[in-house]
């Protein structure tokens, strides 16, 4: 069943109009050189970017017109993380759940972090020490901040996970753990600079100079295809 559809959706100067359907339960990897349009495609899929042409549909509804309850089903792990630097680790994790709680709950979270036990469990899932729970995010290392962003995503419990280069600040062991967590989600689309990891996905999308040039299972992708995808010409 299709959860997300792009119908001739494009962004002038960044992404040529494309058709794309993401089904429930599908695990997709997005490959391409820097500047190929991977972040723009993720931006179209999570609604942060509005298409200049075509439409993006979430379960048949125009994504730009979806209510917050519908948008809550799409979770994004941003390349620049987009945490609230002045809040603590636990408060940031809880922002993932703001869509499911009342305004009062959200305001209380600003004054003091709520549901610490749940937060601790998620921290352990992402490999962070619970000692960091009350530390301000601004004081963490790049790898720690990336895992806090992942923890926020897990707290949101989305149906579709979009991840924009989630492994960039992580060592190989942590990269493996994070990827395992992402792949456990219902459906995911992950942009990576690691073609060697594509075997862990069911579908490979390749972008080149803003154009979707590849859409195939990993078994159909050859070294020559990858070399062409990442070439300058």
Q: What angle do CA 96, 74, 166 make, to 5 degrees?
A: 75
List residues bridging with 136 in a β-sheet.
Answer: 88
The backbone region for 84, taken as left when phi is positive above 0, alpha when psi lies in -120 to 50, beta otherwise, is beta
Enumerate residues 92-111 that contact other proteins by CB under 8 A.
95-96, 98-99, 103, 106-107, 109-110
- The 10 Å CB-count burial string (b at 16+, else e) for 141-162 is eebbbbbbbbbbbbbbebbbbb
CB of 38 to other proteins, least distance (A): 17
Query: Using the rule CB under 8 A, is 85 a contact of other proteins?
Result: yes
Query: Using the rule CB under 8 A, is 84 a contact of other proteins?
Result: yes
Total residues interacting with other proteins, rule: CB under 8 A = 33
Query: Using the rule CB under 8 A, is 175 a contact of other proteins?
Result: no
CA distances from 232 to 128, 171, 215, 228 (A): 39, 28, 20, 8
Query: Using the rule CB under 8 A, is 202 a contact of other proteins?
Result: no
15-54 mask for other proteins (x: CB under 8 A)? -------------------------------xxx------
Nearer to other proteins, 102 or 222 (CB): 102
Nearer to other proteins, 41 or 198 (CB): 41
DSSP for residue 143: H
Nearer to other proteins, 109 or 175 (CB): 109
Among 16, 39, 40, 76, binds other proteins (CB under 8 A): 76
Query: Using the rule CB under 8 A, is 159 a contact of other proteins?
Result: no
Q: Which two tokens stand for residue 161?
A: 């996970």
Cα gap 137→190, rounded to integer Å:
24
Query: Using the rule CB under 8 A, is 78 a contact of other proteins?
Result: yes
**Beta strands 53-58 and 2-11: pairing type?**
antiparallel
Binding site for other proteins (CB under 8 A): 46-48, 67-76, 78, 80-87, 95-96, 98-99, 103, 106-107, 109-110, 156, 158
């Amino acid at each position: 069943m299709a959860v997300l559809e792009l119908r001739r959706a494009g962004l002038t100067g960044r992404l040529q109009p494309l058709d794309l359907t993401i089904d429930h339960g599908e695990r997709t990897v997005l490959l391409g050189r820097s500047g190929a349009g991977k972040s723009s495609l993720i931006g179209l899929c999570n609604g942060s970017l509005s298409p200049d042409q075509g439409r993006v549909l979430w379960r048949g509804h125009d994504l730009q017109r979806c209510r917050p309850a519908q948008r809550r089903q799409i979770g994004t792990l941003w390349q620049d993380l987009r945490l609230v630097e002045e809040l603590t680790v636990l408060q940031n994790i809880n922002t993932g759940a703001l869509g499911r709680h009342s305004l009062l709950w959200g305001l209380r979270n600003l004054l003091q972090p709520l549901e610490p036990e749940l937060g601790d469990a998620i921290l352990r899932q992402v490999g962070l020490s619970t000692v960091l729970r009350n530390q301000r995010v601004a004081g963490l290392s790049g790898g720690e901040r990336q895992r806090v962003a992942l923890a926020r995503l897990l707290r949101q419990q989305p149906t579709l996970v979009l991840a924009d280069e989630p492994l960039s600040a992580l060592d190989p062991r942590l990269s493996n753990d994070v990827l395992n967590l992402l792949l456990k989600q219902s459906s995911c689309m992950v942009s990576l600079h690691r073609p060697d990891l594509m075997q862990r996905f069911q579908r490979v999308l390749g972008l080149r100079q803003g154009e979707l040039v590849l859409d195939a299972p990993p078994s159909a992708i050859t070294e020559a295809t990858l070399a062409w995808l990442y070439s300058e010409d």
